Structure formats: C-alpha cells, structure tokens
C-alpha cells in the first residue's frame, strides 16, 4: 500500500512540476499560422483542455500543443514557421525534454 501511495505521489509531482506556466503571450506575438490553428481548435470540442506552450530549443522557438485526449505527449511540436517537427529518434525526443527552456503559456482552452 505504501508503495502505491509513493508511486502515485511521485507521478503527481512529476506531472504538476513540469508545468511552469509563466504567462499568456499577447496575441500579436503569436505567429499567424499558430493563431489560425488556435482559432480552429477553440471551436472544436475535441480540443477541450488543450494548452499551447512556446519553448526555446536549439536556439529557436518551438510550439507544443498538448491535447489531453491524444495518446502521444509530443505529437504536436512545431517550429517557428509552422512545420511539424518529426522526432526521428529517441535521442531527439529526449533532447527536447531536457533542453527546452523559457516555457511560456500561449493559449489554453477556457472551460
């Protein structure tokens, strides 16, 4: 029983400890392609609970769209120009997890 409580507590800590929401960006700082995607998501019930973050990774901005209903945590990662980043190896995926910086909340589905 103690083991279950410990593992549950650790998972909660990891889940909430990773979300350092700093601020919502002004809409004029959001790339046009992303604003169009956000406008589209905001009227589709599939995206309830979705959040969009901007990170700095490899000296460039990347945008991560977290969709709660998705089975893949990093399926929706885009570069500054709106091209979807395809993770071709576990090393590349691990690199973004450990080396992303300057997390900023861009948009969240308002319930």
Q: Which residues are CB-neighbours of 24 under 8 A, at least 6 positions away?
A: 105, 106, 107, 108
Q: What is the dihedral of CA 68, 30, 20, 3, to 10 degrees?
A: 20
Cα 72 to chain center, whole Å? 11
Location of structure tokens 């945590």: 73
Q: What pTM does this model have?
A: 0.72
Tens digits of residue pLDDT in 57-99: 999 999 999 999 887 877 899 999 999 999 888 888 889 889 9
């Amino acid at each position: 029983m103690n083991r279950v409580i410990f593992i549950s507590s650790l998972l909660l800590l990891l889940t909430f400890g990773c979300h350092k929401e700093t601020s919502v960006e002004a809409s004029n700082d959001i790339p046009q392609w992303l604003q169009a995607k956000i406008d589209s998501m905001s009227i589709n019930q599939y995206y309830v609970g979705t959040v969009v973050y901007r990170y700095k990774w490899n000296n460039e901005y990347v945008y991560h769209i977290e969709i709660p209903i998705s089975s893949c945590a990093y399926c929706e990662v885009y570069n500054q120009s709106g091209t979807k980043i395809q993770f071709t190896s576990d090393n590349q995926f691990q690199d973004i997890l450990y080396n992303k910086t300057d997390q900023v909340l861009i948009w969240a589905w308002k319930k």
